[in-house]
Amino acid sequence: MRKRDFLKTAAAGAAAGAAIASPAIAQSEPNIRWRLVSSFPKNIDVLYGCAEVMAKNLAEATDGKFQIQVFAAGEVVPALQAMDAVSNDTVEICHTASYYYVGKDPTFALGTHVPFGLNTRQQNAWVYHGEGKKLLDDFYRKFNIVALPGGNTGCQMGGWFRKEIADVADLKGLKFRISGLGGSILAKLGAVPQQVGGGDIYPALERGTIDAAEFNGPYDDERLGLYRVAPFYYYPGFWDGTSMEHFFINAKQWEKLPKHYQAALTSAAALANIDAVARYDNLNPPALRRVVASGAKLRAFPAPIIDAAYKASQEMYEELSSSNAEFKKIYESTKRFQQESAIWNQVSEYSYDSLVLRALRR
């Protein structure tokens, strides 16, 4: 009897201990509330939505203990000041495109895209498994930032123009909204690049402040209504063969996080990175059909413009590499990666896509 009584008492004690221990463990997890500022307005729902996808999955992974409130462009800081707000610890995290900040250092472009650079799969591979992560981490740390890939548009369109662009001469004096180093390339060809936030492009085109604008692909461009004010729609965006966005996190705030919260945030950002590509691949095809049906005049950039732009880009990379050692080191890493992976792309994805296109046209 004594043995039976002992076992009952021990079992009851273990159950009570478990009931106490479980909440105690949960209570030991810190409650963390961060603010995130986006460089994108809410109506650009895929790019803005990257932050919402990340925040939702982060909260679920931490049982609601780590929550991030998302603010659209302009609600806390202007669209193109998101990175500065993180760097100076005004907010803990932002969602933005690294190449918006080439005015601080042209090396910022390499986190997003440079003209005639890596495509979407190559950029992901270079960042996640090549030299990209370490090289970019070392660069961003100078700005008190930790960076996590957080979205991608895929290859973008070449933008909306009020008039047809038949030759390089037609770019002379053209006020063109464009981000990153693509603006420097077009400036070499005579255009006048303008840095304009996504939400301000339509009114700038409508008022004639700018003559042409690129933003993204058909889905986002349609939502901005750009086809209503500039009918000629050019492709491809050779300055945006991919466009990786990032979550920039204040380095001190990142270091304060428990390791498993860092892991949860990294995983949630990676999900947002994958989800954005899938959403754009789903949404862009029908959007392209709709804008063409609404009167958009689809045009490929003429070969002389592509040739001149490529030549100008190589000159620019030589100039930047001679004056900026960090740009040179990271750019050369992307070139090595591109040269190696392009061979595989040629015999796999490119040849398969060409085969399918031929079959569909029969």
Split at pLDDT 50, 70, 90, the class of 361 is: confident
The amino acid at 221: D
Instruction: Give 235's strand partners.
Output: 300
Separation between Cα atoms, residue 55 and residue 49, nearest integer Å: 10
Residue 291 predicted with pLDDT over 60: yes
Beta strand 297-300 pairing with 244-250: unpaired
| pTM of the entire predicted model | 0.89
Instruction: Output the pLDDT for position 22.
Output: 39
Split at pLDDT 50, 70, 90, the class of 11 is: very low
Classified as helix, coil or strand, 11 is helix
pLDDT per residue over 24-46, tens digit each? 445 578 999 999 999 999 999 99
Alpha carbon separation from 143 to 33, 74, 87, 107, 109 (Å, rounded):
23, 22, 6, 12, 15
Alpha carbon separation from 301 to 161, 165, 229, 234, 251 (Å, rounded):
12, 8, 20, 6, 42
Classified as helix, coil or strand, 322 is helix
Token output for 172: 């002379």
Say which residue the tokens 């705030």 belong to.
253
Split at pLDDT 50, 70, 90, the class of 203 is: very high
Of the candidates 170, 303, 159, the residue with the CA atom closest to the CA atom of residue 232:
159
pLDDT per residue over 237-285, tens digit each? 999 999 999 999 999 999 999 999 999 999 999 999 999 999 999 999 9
Say which residue the tokens 């949960």 belong to.
26
Cα torsion 237, 349, 328, 251: sign: positive
Residue 347 predicted with pLDDT over 70: yes
CB-side neighbour CA atoms (13 Å) of 63: 9
Of the candidates 68, 52, 73, the residue with the CA atom closest to the CA atom of residue 250:
68
- The per-residue pLDDT of the chain, averaged, comes to 92
Q: What is the CA radius of gyration of the chain?
A: 24
Residue 4 predicted with pLDDT over 80: no
Q: Which of 141-145, 149-153, 176-180, 304-308 has the lowest mean pLDDT?
A: 176-180
Instruction: Output the pLDDT for position 1.
Output: 45
Residue 150 predicted with pLDDT over 60: yes
Split at pLDDT 50, 70, 90, the class of 5 is: low
Higher pLDDT pick, 19 / 152: 152
